Structure 1
Amino acid sequence: MTTSYETAKTQLLDAALAHVPFDGWSEATFQAAIRDTDVSSTVARAICPRGAVDLAVAFHKRGDEAMEARLRSEDMSALKFREKVAAAVRFRLEAVEDKEAVRRGTTLFALPIHAVDGAKLVWGTADAIWTALGDTSDDVNWYTKRATLSGVYSSTVLYWLGDDSPDAMATWAFLDRRIEDVMRIEKVKARVRNSPTLSRLMAGPNWVLGQIKAPTRMPKMDFPGSWTAPRD
């Protein structure tokens, strides 16, 4: 029997989601997912060395992929740019089929041992949004845009987890307020750039910031990429 790496990982993730509401992204959930699939424990551990933690990461990335697919399919040409950003964040949350899985993931990635993974995932979501919306910045703005959106996205997720309003209307209103806050900051930055006096004062810091470049993008790869299962 030959099973691709991605197929086996998808099987494990789908099986795990039935157990996450009860056991979280834990070893118990990982073992239950193995029992519920035809993936052997040896293969499962090879695919997910950290067990359910790796499945939680895969779950988050699945949501990013669903959001990207929706952004490609939606016609947002009539929207203002800030509205496009809000729509992207909304699409990302609407891609979630099980809010409890996100809640459990938030708890997992709040642990110090997994905090770096959580930060990388949020940054990855922000990067996916900016990239999908056509961001071409290659200087310090590449970082500031993603850092700012990471903050907006994180706070919106936390609000959304506790929101029981119809159709999450309170969450979307909260998101709009956060983006409005960001727009006010951008207006202040624009005034600083356009002020001759402040521009002279910021000449040194601006020169330093001007030396910062966006990272070189590498082709998307998911190592080890593919894997061939042993024959039964």
Structure 2
Amino acid sequence: MTDDPTETLLDAALVHVAFDGWSDTTFRAAIEDSGVDPVVARGLFPRGAVDLSVAYHRRGDRIMRERLAASDLSNMRFRDKVAQAVRLRIEASEDREAVRRGTTLFALPPYAPEGAKLIWETADAIWSALGDTSRDINWYTKRATLAGVYSSTVLFWLGDDSVGAQATWDFLDRRIEDVMRIETAKAKVRENPLLKSVFALPNAVLSRVRAPARRQDVPGQSGPGPQV
């Protein structure tokens, strides 16, 4: 048990999510079970269970960063480091039904933009944890690509009944291999003199794109990096 009302409410809510989803019923039950003052609970989560679901997703990002920081990745290829980070993020979720219910919630039109933002945050958390320093167009392409890999792997994992979710990790390896093939093809295009001249203007425009600056006056944010 934690003294943090945010974590207390979230833990209490997870007991009910499998039955009632991320709903107002779950939010009310979490308040009753946790003993957190309803006014405090509403102040922390103005939209009730929707904000609880957001907190649950971000908890997974935090756990992933902690586990990744404690892992020895020194002998891994970079693609394997990315795969390990995605795997750690999925394993950090632990409660598959809570993820399933959250996926359903953020598929609804009013919450779909926020669902996309959360996936982008996860991709950014992984790249940042792996030491990505790109500040140009690559900052966006790396995160967009990884967001696609992560979201498709989560959907596969939700339906995976293999031992130890091995089918999911095999699926993840295939998706990353696909990305590596695309990157190899892009490199060949850049090295081709004829294509290089064709794409000279678009490349000149894209070279001016920069990653968003992270604000330094926001609690909990430090060092260079994007604010998403």
TM-score, shorter chain, exceeding 0.5? yes
2:103 to 97, 103, 106: 106
Deviation at 1:221, TM superposition (A): 3.3
Say whether 1:166 aligns with 2:163. Answer: yes
Aligned to 2:223: none
Partner residue of 1:19 out of 2, 16, 19 = 16
Of residues 177, 196, 219, the one that matches 1:221 is: 219
Unaligned runs of 5+ in 2: 221-228
Q: Are 2:76 and 1:79 aligned?
A: yes
**Counterparts of residues 174-189 of structure 1 (less than 5 Å):** 174-189=171-186
Number of the residue aligned with 1:68: 65
State the one-letter code of the partner of 2:123. A
**2:192 pairs with 190, 195, 198, which one?**
195
Q: How many residues align?
A: 218
Report the AA paired with residue 45 of structure 2. C
TM-score by length of 2: 0.93
| Alpha-carbon distance in structure 2 between the residues aligned to 1:111 and 1:151 | 19
- Where has structure 1 moved over 3 Å in runs of 4 or more? 219-222
Instruction: Render the CA deviation track for 1:186-206: whole Å, top value 9, x for unaligned.
Output: 011100111111110000000
CA–CA distance in 2 between the matches of 1:221 and 1:173?
A: 39
Query: What stretches of structure 1 of length at least 5 have no aligned partner?
Result: 223-232
Aligned to 1:35: 32
The structural deviation recorded for 1:218 is: 2.8
Secondary structure class of the residue paired with 1:19: helix
Amino acid at match of 1:186: E
Are 1:9 and 2:6 an aligned pair? yes
C-alpha displacement of 1:117: 1.1
Matches within 5 A, 1:133-144: 133-144=130-141
Shift of 1:8: 1.1
Tell me which residue corresponds to 1:226.
none
- Please report the TM-score for the alignment, with normalisation by the length of structure 1: 0.92
What do residues 182-229 of structure 1 show as CA deviations (whole Å, max 9, x unaligned)?
A: 00110111001111111100000000100100111235637xxxxxxx
- In the aligned structure 2, how far is the partner of 1:198 from the partner of 1:221? 46
Q: CA deviation digits over 1:46-94, x for unaligned, max 9?
A: 1100000000000000011110001100001100000000000000111
Q: 1:208 is matched with which residue?
A: 205
